[in-house]
Amino acid sequence: MNLMPVLVCLLATTMMGRGADAKDDYTDLTKALNVRELSTLMFANCTDANLVRIEAFLKAHPKAPQREQVLYLRAYMTWSLHRYEKAPALYAALLKEFPKTKFSRIARIREAAAYLFSGQAAKALPRLQQLEKDYPDRPEMYAREMAYALSRCGKQKEALAFMERVEFQMTLARKERLLPRITSHFDKIRLIGKPVKKFAVIDFRTGKEITPGALKGKVVLIDFWATWCSPCIAELPYLRNAHDKLAAKGFEIFAVSLDEDREKTTKVITAKKMDWLHYFDGKKWKNTLAVAFDVHSIPANLLIDRQGIVRAVNLRGSEIITTARALLK
């Protein structure tokens, strides 16, 4: 039974029943959520309980001026909890009710990115193209998402041309300091359509050798992660779902741990039921495969087809199973 609607109604009724105005309730809400607000950004503690508090405020105060901030917090919190399927509608709700909101740019980017991360690149692309029209001199805001969306919509040539143009434009504008994080993503996208790099490592649990040759014939997700990486842990339910449903059809996960503690890594693998291939060498960012694949941030992944060709990179959420299932066909 989903108790969230019941809790929302109870909290909303309490707010209205005690006669408190929206300003007081908003103050209480920001304290409960530990909200930190900047000019065009807000941060808060992201939990299901806090989402209930947000929904209760919105229900109790349908016309409050503070709704702009609270609608943003609802979308931000849903995004931060990696519920990418739900986030686009929530960002859209903010933009519809407050077309000139100060959160407009970040809301539009996150709406598009959430579509992207939930396997809906076709919906993300036009939104990103509109951002490019509106902010032609600010590619650093949307360049990564645009390149991914183009590639995932089958427009790899356009993605390559776009990335080259952005790198030239940002260098010309003397924005080189912003480029490394963007080009690290671009370089992964440039791997698409090429054979996966050669490597030979040992599965640290079974002792069996893992090579591209040994993986041929399967659709393989090479996933870079670590026990200390909370976004990586948040992605595990999606990985398990894909593995559970597709392993019998030829899908495999090859997890590369950037941990240093072997015992802790083993415990997490067991506890999280990560019943797939694993590589661990205890070198953290100098992990042999992380260096070979130029991985500087995690989670990161590459999806390889049955012939050992890279077909997608840095998939998130439900797009993992969607993309893998398409390759298995």
Write out pLDDT tens, residues 38-93.
888 999 999 999 999 999 999 999 999 999 999 999 999 999 998 999 999 999 99
Return the minimum-mean-pLDDT range out of 2-11, 55-64, 85-94, 287-296. Answer: 2-11
| Strand ranges in 131-236 using DSSP code E only, listed in sequence order | 201-202, 209-210, 219-225
DSSP letter at 3 equals -
Return the minimum-mean-pLDDT range out of 5-14, 181-190, 263-272, 291-300. Answer: 5-14
Helix (H) or strand (E) holding 150: helix 143-152
Sheet containing 300-304: give its strands across: 277-280, 251-257, 219-225, 300-304, 310-313
Whole-number pLDDT of residue 280: 96
Whole-number pLDDT of residue 13: 62
d(CA 235, CA 230): 9
The pLDDT tens digits for 86-137 are 999 999 999 999 999 999 999 999 999 999 988 899 999 999 999 999 999 9
Whole-number pLDDT of residue 306: 97
d(CA 141, CA 41): 14
d(CA 182, CA 142): 10
**What angle in degrees, to the nearest 10, is found between the helix axes of 67-80 and 104-117?**
30
User: Domains in the chain and their CATH numbers?
Assistant: 4-114 (1.25.40), 120-189 (no CATH), 201-328 (3.40.30.10)
**What angle in degrees, to the nearest 10, is found between the helix axes of 67-80 and 48-60?**
160
d(CA 7, CA 307): 51
Please determine, for residue 8, whether its predicted confidence score (pLDDT) is greater than 90.
no
Strand partners for 209: 202
Mean per-residue pLDDT over the chain, rounded: 93
Whole-number pLDDT of residue 12: 59
